[in-house]
């Protein structure tokens, strides 16, 4: 039997997302959360989503807004605007819900949702994972997914620039 998939739900209204989070909590579903810029999707991102989804029932992915990404990565970013990044991410089977945040960190959305599991790539030092305190205080866990070496958007963009400048 082929599973029909419409794509991840894009929920930009945090109040609605909080209501869904409470519904899932009452249903006993384990909510997993991760975040990032996801400016130029690569195999490392897909690996992260797959491993994160294996940890629970609902995978929420929060994406930096264009202004937030620009503040973090510089004036030439994003490569793809938020609307396109969300559309691309919505096609990934392991992602259930997408949202966006305009702050430099996902602190506010993590504090609001209090996911059961907060996932970050293994390149993050555990003590620097934003939201760790809130998640652990509510009984959740922080899990670092092993980083796949050589797979970063910044490195990929540098390879592209080097290629076209040679």
DSSP code, position 127: G
Domain membership of residue 3 (yes or no) is no
What is the average pLDDT value for the chain, to the nearest integer? Answer: 90
Domain-embedded: residue 137: yes
Domain-embedded: residue 110: yes
Classify residue 9 as exposed, middle or buried by CB count within 10 Å of its CB (0-12, 13-18, 19+): middle
| Structure token digits, residue 108 | 């506010």
Task: Say if 4 falls within a structural domain.
Answer: no
Give the model confidence (pLDDT) of 54-98 as tens digits. Answer: 999 999 999 999 999 999 999 988 989 999 999 999 999 999 999
**pLDDT at 156 (0 to 100):** 72
Does any domain span residue 114? yes
CATH number at residue 89: 3.40.50.620
Residue 37 forms part of a structural domain: yes
Q: What is the pTM of this model?
A: 0.89
Is 64 a domain residue? yes
**Structural domain that includes position 89:** 9-165
The reply to whether 1 falls in a domain is no
Does residue 6 surpass a pLDDT of 90? no
**What is the pLDDT averaged over residues 144-158?**
74
pLDDT classification of 1: cutoffs 50, 70, 90: very low
| Dihedral angle computed from the Cα positions of residues 154, 104, 65 and 158, in that order, rounded to the nearest 10 degrees | -10
Number of domain units in the chain: 1
Q: How far apart are CA 75 and CA 71, in angstroms?
A: 7
């Amino acid at each position: 039997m082929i599973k029909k998939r419409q794509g991840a739900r894009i929920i930009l209204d945090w109040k609605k997302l909080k209501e869904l989070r409470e519904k899932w909590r009452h249903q006993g579903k384990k909510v997993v959360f991760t975040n990032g810029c996801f400016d130029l999707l690569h195999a490392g991102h897909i690996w992260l989503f797959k491993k994160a989804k294996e940890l629970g029932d609902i995978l929420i992915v929060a994406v930096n807004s264009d202004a937030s990404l620009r503040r973090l990565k510089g004036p030439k970013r994003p490569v793809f605007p938020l609307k396109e990044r969300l559309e691309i991410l919505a096609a990934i089977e392991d992602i259930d819900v997408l949202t966006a945040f305009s702050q430099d960190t996902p602190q506010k959305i993590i504090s609001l949702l209090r996911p059961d599991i907060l996932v970050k790539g293994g390149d993050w030092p555990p003590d620097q994972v934003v939201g760790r305190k809130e998640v652990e205080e509510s009984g959740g866990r922080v899990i670092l997914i092993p980083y796949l070496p050589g797979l970063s958007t910044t490195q990929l963009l540098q390879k592209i620039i080097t290629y076209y400048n040679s």
